[in-house]
Amino acid sequence: MAKIKVRTVPDPILRQTSQPIPITGIKTAETQKLVRDIKNTLEGGEYGVGMSAIQIGKPLAIAVVMIRPTPTRPNLEPFNKVYFNAEIIETDGEKVPMWEGCCSVLGKDGNPVYAQVPRYKKIRVRYLDEDAVTQEEYVDGFLAHVLQHEIDHQNGVLFTDLIDESDIVSCDEYKRIMNLSN
């Protein structure tokens, strides 16, 4: 399995809209290799819990969510799912802010930057699963937040588009805020 270089701002591909994967394309060797490469790339980071194919230069509507405990969220329940052609079809409630970072949005020091980004607490999502079967489900909490971030990537939207630039903090500042001083 390859670990692929993650594309970062200002790479123009991050502003493209991802193309849907045809049902017949989900189980192809090429798509399955791409999913494995995304997972391997994601596993190589300490904080990442999700990644879209566009972040590694493939403008395809594939989102991998691999939630696992991280230094700032040590109590997360592990979760691993691939979403093809995911779309939010309903939102519920008000938006709530949660800390977010992105391996495609780096500060001057080359590390990810962070901000509290408001997102819906609960969403209904439609997608194709790894067996190319259409699924529809409600998700909430941290998973809903992560999934909205990844779906935004597929639409050329970065988390920094949803906040005021003055709300962005460096990786070091984020660690201080989260009591993870070096």
131 domain-assigned: yes
Q: Sign of dihedral through CA atoms 132, 133, 134, 135?
A: negative
What residues form DSSP beta bridges with 11? none
What pLDDT sits at residue 62?
Answer: 98
21 domain-assigned: yes
Torsion of CA 44, 101, 130, 86, to 10 degrees: -160
Q: Which of 73, 93, 174 is nearest to 138 (CA)?
A: 93
What pLDDT sits at residue 66?
Answer: 95
182 domain-assigned: no
69 domain-assigned: yes
111 domain-assigned: yes
Per DSSP, the three-state class of 147 is helix
What pLDDT sits at residue 154?
Answer: 97
What pLDDT sits at residue 45?
Answer: 76
Are the C-beta atoms of 1 and 40 separated by less than 8 Å? yes
What pLDDT sits at residue 2?
Answer: 64
Tokens of 100: 């977010």
What pLDDT sits at residue 74?
Answer: 84
Specify the long-range contacts of residues 42-51, CB closer than 8 Å, at least 24 apart.
Answer: 42/66, 44/3, 45/103, 46/70, 46/71, 47/71, 47/72, 47/101, 47/112, 48/103, 49/76, 49/146, 50/146, 50/147, 50/149, 50/150, 51/6, 51/103, 51/150
Domain holding 148, by residue range, is: 12-177
Low-confidence ranges of the chain (pLDDT < 70): 1-2, 46-47, 180-182
- What residues are labeled active site? 150
Q: How many domains does the chain have?
A: 1
Per DSSP, the three-state class of 29 is helix
Residues comprising the chain, all counted: 182
Tokens of 103: 């391996």
6 domain-assigned: no
Q: What is the pLDDT of residues 108-142, one digit of tens each?
A: 999 999 999 999 999 999 999 999 999 999 999 99
| Distance separating alpha carbons of residues 7 and 13, to the nearest angstrom | 8
7 domain-assigned: no
166 domain-assigned: yes
Q: What is the CATH number of the domain that holds 26?
A: 3.90.45.10
